[in-house]
Structure formats: structure tokens, C-alpha cells
């Protein structure tokens, strides 16, 4: 039996690459939910709501996206911030993602309707630009540059990789790529790449020991650095880490960690490195998620990862 190069590379029969994601079913399910949580049993929360809004808007489910966008506006505080849930006004790290959600829906709206989001976007951006991670003096105990300002998870704490990625990505989508805060955010993300590629949750080395890479933060970092003209070998090493690990560990796992798979694929897609078997893995993850209680968060990420175009370029239509 002859095998194509693709089959050999992936270790899969070619027929298995032809699976496609049943996005209609996925989006129908996402659209039907009126509770936007990480889990069906948890509270509606800003992050899953924002990702769901982005996914529905980019897939053309305008009315469903608008419903969520309006809810996010309803919980925006006068200072522009959006808390983690309707009841918990702090911390405000999801503000970045609500910017993304409003941009996604406004970019698909008529110019007249678009205006209703512009004020919310403006106030959220103002809040985001004022939010700064706390710097600490450089220490030989820590491998990263502790003086670079990014974004924290909670006020008055250090800058961390993932909230910085959220803001860099959102502010770039808002057309602020050259803003000094965005540029410094990009610098922070590059600084936090591990020497051999990939990202830990934020630290690189502690007390001389290099930490372990993980798929989700690496995928987010790659999303945020897409088309940022970074000439650093660790970016390529990070992409290779994502390709290798997703294929080797996630795809062969009996249970697929949905968020990691989706962020990993979003990161690769952002650099035009989407694996040929991406849809097959996503469909397997969809089936797994659909067997569980519905999770807005997971369904939204799956719908986003199912898009073959780079996310940021779609949002630039705004």
C-alpha cells in the first residue's frame, strides 16, 4: 500500500484528513445557549461571552452575537471596565476581550448601527490603556525582564503573559498596533518566550531553571504576535513546539483538552501554519464537547478555531 507524504508526516491515513467540522451544528448549539459560562453549571462570565460573541459574529450569526454584545455593554462600568461576571466587578482583565467582541460585531454592522458600540469600545480602550502591570526590580532569580509593562490579571499585581496577549490582540484589532503600550506588550510577549520555544504561564526561568511550555499560552502568544515582524528564532521554535505537541499529544489523547487545542490551532493559523488535520481534530473535540453539558466557552473556541482564516485579519475589516 502506498502512502502519500502527508500520510507519512502525520502518521494518518489520508482519508482521515478529509473530515470537516460541522460548524452549522456547532453554531446552532452556541446560538441556542442563553447562559454564557465556562461550564453549564457555572455563572455567565465575561470571557466566554466575549469569545462567543466573536465566534458568532465572524460566522455571520449576527443577531445571536448582538444579544451577547448588548449584555456585555450592560455590565460595562462607567469607567469603561468590564468585570469577570455581572456580579464581580473586579478584576477587570476580560475588558480586553469585550473590546474584541464589540469590534467583531461592529465590523459586521451597518455604519449607522456601528455607532452604538463605538462609545463602549472607546471607554474600554481608555480603561485598558490605563491598566498597567506592576514592575519590580530585575532579579537574578527571575529569567524575564520584570521592568517591561504589560497587563496584569488583577490590579496592582505584576504583568503576565496571557492578559497581555489578550490586550495586544484586542488593541491591534482596534487599529492601535503602533501604540506604545501595544509595542511594549509585544516586547513583553517576546521576552516571555522560553529559550527553546513555547511559553509557560508567564515566567521563563526561576532560580536558574527553565520552566515548561504549555500549548494554551503559546497559542495565545502566537496569535498576538502574528504579522508583528518579530525576528526572533524563538517564534519559529514556538510554532514548531505547537505543531509537534498538538499532533503528538493532543490528537492521540483519549480526551482532548478543548481550550488548548483551539488556542494552539489559532496560534498556528495566525502564522499560516494550520496543520492539514486541524479539522479532523476539531471535529473530534466537537463530538466530545457535544457529549458533555454545553459549555459556551468550549463551543465558542471550537467555532473560532474552525475558521481557516487568521482571526486578526478578519477583525481588521472594522
Partner 1 sequence: MSAHSQQGDRLREETNRSKGLSRRAILTAGGVSAVGLTGLGLARQAWLPTAETFIAKGQRYDRPLVQTIREGLRCCNVQPTWFRGKRVLLKPNLVEPTRLCPHMTTHPAIILAAAEVFRGWGASVGVGEAPAHVRDTEMALIESGVGEALREGDLSFADLNYEQVASRRNRGCRSTLKEIYFPQSVLEADIVVSLPKMKTHHWVGMTCSMKNFYGVLPGIKYGWPKNVLHHHGIPQTVVDIMATLQPTLAIVDGIDCMEGDGPIMGSLKHMGLIVVGRNLPAVDATVARIMGLEQSRVSYLNLAADWLGPIDERRITQRGERWQAVASPFEILDVEHLRGLRAGPLLS
Rounded CA gap, 308 and 72, in Å? Answer: 27
Binding part of the chain for partner 1, among 14-22, 170-178, 198-206, 269-277 by CB under 8 A, reads 198-206
CB 68 within 8 A of CB 101: yes
Q: Determine, following the binding rule CB under 8 A, whether residue 158 of this chain makes contact with partner 1.
A: yes
Rounded CA gap, 190 and 164, in Å? Answer: 11
Rounded CA gap, 285 and 297, in Å? Answer: 13
Kindly state the helix (H) or strand (E) to which residue 210 belongs, with its residue range. strand 209-210
* CB of 148 or CB of 259, closer to partner 1: 259
Rounded CA gap, 153 and 294, in Å? Answer: 27
* All three cell numbers of 238: 514556538
Q: Least distance to partner 1 from the beta carbon of 103, Å?
A: 23
Q: Determine, following the binding rule CB under 8 A, whether residue 209 of this chain makes contact with partner 1.
A: yes
Query: Using the 8-state DSSP alphabet, how is residue 26 labeled?
Result: H
The size of the interface with partner 1 (CB under 8 A), counted in residues, is 40
Beta bridge partner(s), residue 205: 210
Kindly state the helix (H) or strand (E) to which residue 205 belongs, with its residue range. strand 205-206
* CB of 160 or CB of 318, closer to partner 1: 160
| Segment 97 to 126, residues that bind partner 1, using CB under 8 A | none
| Segment 250 to 309, residues that bind partner 1, using CB under 8 A | 253-255, 257-260
Which residue in 201, 236, 248, 287 binds partner 1 (CB under 8 A)? 201
Q: Determine, following the binding rule CB under 8 A, whether residue 248 of this chain makes contact with partner 1.
A: no
Cα–Cα distance list, 63 to 57, 58, 88 (Å) = 8, 12, 27
* CB of 106 or CB of 260, closer to partner 1: 260
* CB of 57 or CB of 302, closer to partner 1: 302
Q: Determine, following the binding rule CB under 8 A, whether residue 157 of this chain makes contact with partner 1.
A: yes
* CB of 158 or CB of 179, closer to partner 1: 158
* CB of 54 or CB of 259, closer to partner 1: 259
Residue 252: Cβ within 10 Å count: 9
The four Cα atoms 234, 240, 244, 250 give a dihedral, to 10 degrees, of 70
* CB of 108 or CB of 264, closer to partner 1: 264
| Segment 121 to 150, residues that bind partner 1, using CB under 8 A | 134, 141
Binding part of the chain for partner 1, among 164-172, 181-189, 203-211, 226-234 by CB under 8 A, reads 203-211
Binding part of the chain for partner 1, among 5-13, 176-184, 194-202, 224-232 by CB under 8 A, reads 194-202
Report, in angstroms and rounded to the nearest whole number, the Rg of the chain calculated over CA atoms.
19
Rounded CA gap, 190 and 185, in Å? Answer: 9
Q: Determine, following the binding rule CB under 8 A, whether residue 247 of this chain makes contact with partner 1.
A: no
Q: Determine, following the binding rule CB under 8 A, whether residue 88 of this chain makes contact with partner 1.
A: yes
Q: Determine, following the binding rule CB under 8 A, whether residue 72 of this chain makes contact with partner 1.
A: no
In sequence order, the 6+-apart residues with CB closer than 8 A to the CB of 115 are none
The four Cα atoms 42, 43, 47, 51 give a dihedral, to 10 degrees, of 80
Residues forming the site for partner 1 (CB under 8 A): 37-39, 42-43, 45, 84-85, 88, 91, 93, 134, 141, 152-154, 156-158, 160, 162, 200-202, 206-207, 209, 211-212, 214-217, 253-255, 257-260
Amino acid at each position: 500500500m502506498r502512502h502519500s507524504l502527508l500520510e507519512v508526516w502525520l502518521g494518518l491515513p489520508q482519508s482521515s484528513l478529509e473530515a470537516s467540522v460541522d460548524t452549522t451544528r456547532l453554531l446552532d448549539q452556541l446560538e441556542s445557549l442563553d447562559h454564557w459560562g465556562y461550564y453549564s453549571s457555572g455563572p455567565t462570565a465575561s470571557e466566554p461571552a466575549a469569545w462567543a460573541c466573536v465566534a458568532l459574529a465572524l460566522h455571520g450569526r449576527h443577531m445571536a452575537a448582538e444579544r451577547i454584545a448588548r449584555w456585555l455593554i450592560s455590565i460595562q462600568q462607567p469607567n469603561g471596565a468590564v468585570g469577570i461576571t455581572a456580579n464581580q466587578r473586579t478584576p477587570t482583565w476580560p475588558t480586553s476581550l469585550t473590546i474584541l467582541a464589540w469590534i467583531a460585531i461592529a465590523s459586521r454592522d451597518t455604519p449607522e448601527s456601528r455607532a452604538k458600540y463605538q462609545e463602549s469600545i472607546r471607554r474600554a480602550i481608555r480603561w485598558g490603556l490605563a491598566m498597567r502591570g506592576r514592575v519590580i526590580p530585575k532579579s537574578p532569580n527571575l529569567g524575564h525582564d520584570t521592568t517591561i509593562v504589560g497587563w496584569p490579571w488583577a490590579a496592582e499585581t505584576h504583568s503576565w503573559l496571557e492578559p497581555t496577549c489578550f490586550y495586544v490582540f484586542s488593541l491591534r484589532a482596534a487599529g492601535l498596533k503602533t501604540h506604545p503600550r501595544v509595542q511594549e506588550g509585544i516586547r513583553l510577549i517576546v521576552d516571555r518566550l522560553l529559550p527553546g520555544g513555547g511559553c509557560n504561564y508567564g515566567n521563563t526561568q526561576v532560580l536558574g531553571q527553565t520552566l515548561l511550555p504549555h500549548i494554551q499560552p503559546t497559542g495565545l502568544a502566537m496569535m498576538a504576535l502574528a504579522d508583528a515582524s518579530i525576528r526572533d528564532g524563538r517564534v519559529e521554535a514556538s510554532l514548531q513546539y505547537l505543531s509537534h505537541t498538538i499532533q503528538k499529544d493532543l490528537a492521540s489523547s483519549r480526551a482532548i483538552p478543548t481550550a488548548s487545542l483551539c488556542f494552539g490551532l489559532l496560534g498556528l493559523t495566525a502564522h499560516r501554519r494550520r496543520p492539514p488535520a486541524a479539522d479532523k481534530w476539531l471535529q473530534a473535540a466537537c463530538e466530545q464537547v457535544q457529549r458533555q453539558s454545553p459549555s459556551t466557552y468550549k463551543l465558542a473556541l471550537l467555532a473560532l478555531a474552525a475558521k481557516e482564516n487568521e482571526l486578526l485579519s478578519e477583525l481588521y475589516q472594522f
